Amino acid sequence: MATVEQLLAEMASNPAGVRFTDACKVATHFFGKARIRGSHHVWSMNWAGDPRVNLQEGKGNLAKAYQVKQLLAAVEKEQQRLDVEAKKTEAAPLEPKPKAASAKGPKKIKKPSRKR
């Protein structure tokens, strides 16, 4: 069974010769479960704009080449987004959080009572 990295390399070298199930495996790995409407398998992305990838099975159990190219572009964009997030977490040092002030406010000092 091919790994996702191997499938990506195969998809990049020959988009017209990718099996539909392999393309679905890659899309599911990066974008989660697909929404299926008839022959359309649709994955939602994590960014603004037109955040969808659509795959359809073509002739001979192959994915359509132009949709494979769109999937590769979306995977590349997702990998860049994840790299940026990883760099942000590496660059931000962990600092201890300051203690929260009491919701009641400052403590009141009791005055000594005067007895007569």
Average pLDDT of the chain is 83
Is residue 92 very low, low, confident or very high in pLDDT (cuts 50, 70, 90)?
low
Tell me how far CA of residue 35 lies from CA of 12, 40, 53, in angstroms: 24, 8, 10
Q: The pTM is what? A: 0.70
Q: Which residues contact 57 (CB under 8 A, 6 or more apart)?
A: 20, 39, 63
Q: Does any domain span residue 96? A: no
On the question of pLDDT at 103 being above 70, the answer is no
Q: Does any domain span residue 116? A: no
Burial of 96 (0-12, 13-18, 19+ CB in 10 A): exposed
Count of structural domains, the chain: 1
Note down the domain range covering 23: 4-91
Q: Does any domain span residue 49? A: yes
10-42 pLDDT, tens digit each: 999 999 999 999 999 999 998 889 999 999 999
On the question of pLDDT at 114 being above 90, the answer is no
